[in-house]
Amino acid sequence: MTAPSPSPSPSPTPILILDRVSKRFAGHTAVDELSLSVPSGVIYGLLGPNGAGKTTTLRMIMDILEPDGGTVRVFGEPGGGRAHAERIGYLPEERGLYRKMRVLDVLVFLGEMKGTDRRRARQRAEEWLARLGLTEWRLRRIDELSKGMQQKVQFISTVLHDPDLLVLDEPFSGLDPVNTQVMKDTVLDLRHRGKTILFSTHIMEQAEKLCEQLCIIARGRKLVDGALADIKRTHGGHHLVLGFDGSLGGAAQVFADQTLVSNVDNYGQYAEVELAAGADPQQILQRLVASGARLSRFELQEASLNKIFIDLVGAEAVRA
Amino acid sequence: MRKIRAVIRREFVERVRSKWFWVSAILGPLFFAAIIIIPLHFAAAGGTKAIVVVDGTTSGFGARVADSLARGKTFMIVARSAPRAGLLDSLTREVGLNRLDGLLILADRTVETGAAEYRAANVSSFRDIDELRGVLGRLAVNARLERAGVDPATVGRAQLRIDLRTKKISGSATTGESSAQSFWLAYVMSIVLFIVIAVYGVNVMSSVLEEKTTRIVEVLVSSLRPFELMLGKVVGVGAVSIFQFAIWGLGGRLVLSQRAALIGNVAPADVGQEAAFQLPPVPATTVAVFLGYFLGGFFLYSAMFAAVGAMSSSEQEARQAQQPVVFLLMIAYLSVFALANDPGSPYAVALSLVPFTSPIAMPVRWAAGSVSVSELVMSLALLGVGIGAVTWIAARIYRVGILMTGKRPNLRELIRWVRA
């Protein structure tokens, strides 16, 4: 699985804007003046540890909860998603379907809830069931299906009405590997068709592979948001791994330059360098070559999103 | 609006498709017939009692009592014996062994003082006691008159059984309904109203609970307002109940027409028995009042049941939380005898005006005696206001409750939900 190619460029008008949105429950603040902006046509990750306020945020976007403060704008209009139900697909964190209903009936009903008329909902449900290999199960009751099949049906119900914006709350949690793949493929396919996907997760590996933009929150507050590449640049990418081929040249002087290097682990023929803030790795390369060092390896190591996340969230936890 | 229609359709189609619906559609009338008839049958009838008359009279009074009782259907006279040592003890043993139902002890002084004794395993049957008292009283009076020198023929002529026919006046027209029919109609209506409102109210509750526990409700309320969802649910389940009534209407008429065969001699003895067992001519207005109050009661109570479902997290919790609502519904149901006996009493009038009790109380009063149009209008208006207020409160509890997990809210939290 590769990261999505930067096809249809994000339109300048965000599809979803939160402006200082807050939600308080008895005794604690679940979301605290959270502002974020989701551009159209991207995969946007809302990341945070458990209890960070991700689900509450998504519920406010979906009009399931009313914010206590701040404003939500969806498709440029003030107010939550209910008014645009036909353009939004929502997969809640806790899954469930009417157990006694037939698969096709459930899908048609949920399609109708999203404003699709019955005939069209039925037709699209049949298409999706065929696509995910569930055609022969369409007249069976939900409780006759395996858990994996139920997950597929639930996912179909989310995309049945061909929404422009998908809001997925922990979409990968509880999925078996096959369904994880189906989910990823479908999300990427939708993204390539110009849809916007907002999903929450606490699994960073998934976010790193899928997200173009993201927002990390903890304790209801935003820690960082923006494009994944920018975040990695500003919060990671400070490590340089060097390998020497015999001659070290004047490497010791270069490492001693506090404007370039903040810390170094020098093993003789191998060194790990932590860059000083604002230092340009290319300058180090030039200086080393000029000093007569012979390099066999020069690698700028990106910090993983996981590390950035742990650094940020850990720091927040310490502060709190 | 289209979404509400979809919710209504789902509730209706899924329910009508279920086996449960058809089982209750077919067995419902039988079930109602059973719970209406069996208790009354046992309470009132109880079969023929086999008794021994212990005749200590010397005037032939005992023989006459035994003959008279034997002519009735209530008692079978096994034997008439003169009292002797040990007889009472051995007869009492027979009763204890269930070989005999009872013994009637008569002496000469019965005619003088009216004192007699009836010993039996069951002395709580009104019918048995009434019959004994009637026969003994009549024959004792006869014996005294004869002793006073009155010609027995005169005594016979002087006796007159009163055949009191009762006709209900509705508006200013005399209807064909007898008091027994009025009572029957009121009694049957109260049972049907109570059970159907409770059963379909609980249906609404479990439907709410299902959506809450499966979390489908999140998807739903992101598409339509919680109130719209609740409304669609209540209307959908209500439509099922009306459909159920339509089926019962046919089945029920069939059962009622066979009532004479089913219930035997249950009706009060002073009413012409044949009249009591005919199919009561249920006027269209009574049907309209019944259905009107059923719908009103259903909406009122299912809103409450919806709120109960929303504030609970499991079936067990809901079963507990529904109890106050069921008790509220039971008040009028348990008052049905009082209502039917004296439909004009202040208690009956109050019950038929208060929205929580009027859905059962008013149809019962309407069937048992006539209710003025102004009272009916007032009661309906109050019911309308009640439905509005209760639905408003229930919808606010529902809105918050369906998304809540964890422990059931206490009263203070509920009030906060409503005021939020």
Q: What is the pLDDT of residues B125-144, one digit of tens each?
A: 767 787 888 888 888 888 88
Q: Give the tens place of pLDDT for each residue, A223-270.
A: 889 988 888 877 766 788 889 988 888 888 888 888 888 888 888 888
Residue ranges per structural domain of chain A? 11-233, 238-301
Nearest chain B Cα to A155, which residue?
B219
Cα separation values, B43 from A49, B188, B265, Å: 68, 17, 12
Q: Find chain B residues with C-beta within 8 A of A82's C-beta.
A: 221-225
Q: Do A110 and B218 touch (CB under 8 A)?
A: no
Q: Do A85 and B18 touch (CB under 8 A)?
A: no
pLDDT in tens, chain B (420 residues): 889 999 999 999 999 998 888 888 888 777 777 776 776 666 555 567 888 888 888 888 888 888 888 887 788 888 888 888 888 888 888 888 888 888 888 888 888 887 888 888 777 676 778 788 888 888 888 888 888 888 877 877 777 666 666 666 655 555 555 566 677 777 888 888 898 899 899 999 999 999 998 889 999 999 999 999 999 999 999 999 889 888 887 766 766 666 555 555 444 444 444 444 444 566 778 888 888 999 999 999 999 999 999 999 888 889 888 999 999 999 888 888 888 778 888 888 899 999 999 999 998 888 877 688 889 999 999 999 999 999 999 988 888 888 887 777 888 888 888 887
Interface of A with B (CB under 8 A): 59, 62-65, 81-82, 85, 88, 90, 92, 94-101, 105, 109-110, 112-115, 157
Pick the closest to residue B129 from B53, B70, B74, B170 (CA basis): B74
pTM, rounded to two decimals: 0.75
How far is A163 from chain B, CA to nearest CA, in Å?
13
To which H or E segment does residue B92 belong?
Answer: helix B87-96
B213 Cβ under 8 Å from any chain A Cβ = yes
The answer to whether A219 and A53 are in contact (CB under 8 A) is yes
Instruction: Sort strands A270-275 and A43-47 into parallel, antiparallel or unpaired.
Output: unpaired
CB-hemisphere CA count at 13 Å for B240?
A: 28
Of the candidates B216, B222, B225, the beta carbon closest to that of A98 is on B216
B17 Cβ under 8 Å from any chain A Cβ = no
Which pLDDT score is estimated for A71?
A: 93
| DSSP bridge pairs for A27 | none
Q: Does the model's ipTM exceed the 0.85 cut?
A: no
Pick the closest to residue A81 from A17, A29, A30 (CA basis): A17
Rg (CA), chain B: 29
The correct answer on CATH 3.40.50.2000 for the domain covering A238-301 is: no
How far is A86 from chain B, CA to nearest CA, in Å?
8
- The CATH topology of domain B49-155 is D-Maltodextrin-Binding Protein; domain 2 (3.40.190)
The correct answer on CATH 3.40.50.300 for the domain covering A11-233 is: yes
How far is A277 from chain B, CA to nearest CA, in Å?
46
Q: Do B2 and A100 touch (CB under 8 A)?
A: no
Instruction: Sort strands B173-174 and B169-170 into parallel, antiparallel or unpaired.
Output: antiparallel
Q: Do A63 and B222 touch (CB under 8 A)?
A: yes
Q: Do B221 and A63 touch (CB under 8 A)?
A: yes
Q: Find chain B residues with C-beta within 8 A of A163's C-beta.
A: none
